[in-house]
Structure 1
Amino acid sequence: MRYSSQVKPISYLKANAAEVLTRLAEQREPLVITQNGEAKAVLQDVASFEETQETLALLKILALGNQEVAAGKLKPAADVVARLRAKRTAG
């Protein structure tokens, strides 16, 4: 996705804040805000932000798992299943 068409100066944001928020919610595309010709911020709707945060959390979990595999911190699946079944019947 290219963001070049989604670039607006901060003066546009100041003058059209309500319109910008409506467009963000409807189009679900981020908007790059510039100040003095330089990109300074990215605005996005809340739903997209939450999806991004969830995706990042999953990627962090995967990265941690890969680190544990690389470090040899593995257990056979059968052992894990047996331990979980034992906890379920004991509780």
Structure 2
Amino acid sequence: MNKLSNIIPVSDLRQDAAKILKQLNKNNEPLIITQRGRAAAVMIGVEAYEKSEHEKELLWLLAKGDREIDLGEGYDLNTVLAEADVLLAKES
């Protein structure tokens, strides 16, 4: 979709909110709301918001893991996989 079509004035949002919300959720792309000719807000659909929050949480967990490894508190992947192999072998 053309990025310029994802920009609307707040007056258009006021006049036809239902239609704009329907398009927002259908397109699943951010919508820039302008006020007095300047960007004032960004609107996203619920699905896009939930995806963004999930991705943010994953990034936070990865950063936490990096900090733990730097402090010597974490486990490297090879160690974890080796322990998993041992546990799986015991179950067989």
When normalised by structure 1's length, the TM-score is 0.75
Q: Structure 2 unaligned runs (5+)? A: 88-92
What is the CA distance between 1:69 and its match in structure 2?
1.0
Distance 1:62 1:75, change over 3 A: closer
RMSD across aligned C-alpha pairs, in angstroms?
A: 2.3
Gaps of 5+ in 1: 86-91
Offset, 1:3: 3.8
CA distance in 2, matches of 1:18, 1:75: 50
User: In the TM superposition, what are the counterparts of 1:1-91 in structure 2 within 5 Å?
Assistant: 3-75=3-75, 77=79
Which portions of structure 1, spanning 4 or more consecutive aligned residues, are displaced by more than 4 angstroms?
Answer: none
TM-score w.r.t. the length of structure 2 is 0.74
Output the amino acid matched with 2:56. Answer: L
Give, in whole Å, the separation in 2 of the partners of 1:5 and 1:71.
Answer: 48
